[in-house]
Amino acid sequence: MNDKELYQEKIKAHIDEMKADAQKLKAKASEASADTKIELSKKVDELQDSIEKSENDLKKLNEASGEAWQTLKSGLESSWANLSSSVKDAVSKFKN
């Protein structure tokens, strides 16, 4: 496997992890009070939008040839950092 393929697998694994976290938050929303349910639902929607963007970035990375993927990599890492931070914030806020 080359560096690009290894990187793609790493990002895919992280995206799958974030999807699982979003599902956990969605499950918590179904058990929460009305106000918390609204807040959790908004956060889950935001996370799902971010996950979708990361998946689209990963597709672009997959389609990139030669060294062009290195350029896309930095953008994907920035998106990933934002997504990861959002998920961590949401999970810690609604841990109860």
CA distance 47 to 80: 11
Three-state SS at 1: coil
CA distance 53 to 49: 6
55: domain range?
3-93
pLDDT at 16: 92
- Structural domains counted in the chain: 1
Q: What is the helix (H) or strand (E) element at residue 28, kind and residue range?
A: helix 3-31
Indicate whether this model's pTM tops 0.95: no
Q: What is the pLDDT of residues 38-60, one digit of tens each?
A: 888 888 888 888 888 888 888 88
Query: Which residue has 């030669």 as its token pair?
Result: 66
Three-state SS at 66: coil
